[in-house]
Amino acid sequence: MPGKPEEPSPGPSGSGPGPSGSGPGAFDLMALGLTMALLVGAGLGLGLLVDSWLHSSPIATMVGLGVGVVFAGLALWEKARQYL
């Protein structure tokens, strides 16, 4: 009909548009990997600095590493939510 908009054809699963353009590109994945590596590295580095300052090795290193991993996981979650 002339006034009716076309609906997108279902993808292979039959639940919506096909997979073209639905996922992150190579640049997005590289940026996410770099972001996660920097967050974990920053947490580890700060933990090492605090340990050398307080002479409390390896307590602050482990805490800093844990904080870095948590923030890297949050960055991953925020990026993944765009594609869910």
Domain coverage including residue 66: 36-81
Residue 21 lies in a domain: no
Local structure of residue 52 (DSSP, 8 states):
H
* Residue 67 pLDDT > 60: yes
Residue 48 lies in a domain: yes
> Taking residues 8-24, what's their average pLDDT?
55
Report the alpha-carbon distance of residue 32 to residue 79 in Å, rounded: 8
At position 27, the amino acid (one-letter code) is: F
**Lowest model confidence (mean pLDDT) among 8-12, 24-28, 44-48:** 8-12
Residue 33 near residue 19 (C-beta atoms within 8 A): no
Residue 61 domain-assigned (yes or no): yes
Q: Domain count of the chain?
A: 1
The answer as to whether 18 is a domain residue is no
Measured between alpha carbons, how far is residue 42 from residues 18, 21, 53, 77, 79 in Å?
39, 33, 16, 19, 20
Note whether residue 63 is domain-resident.
yes
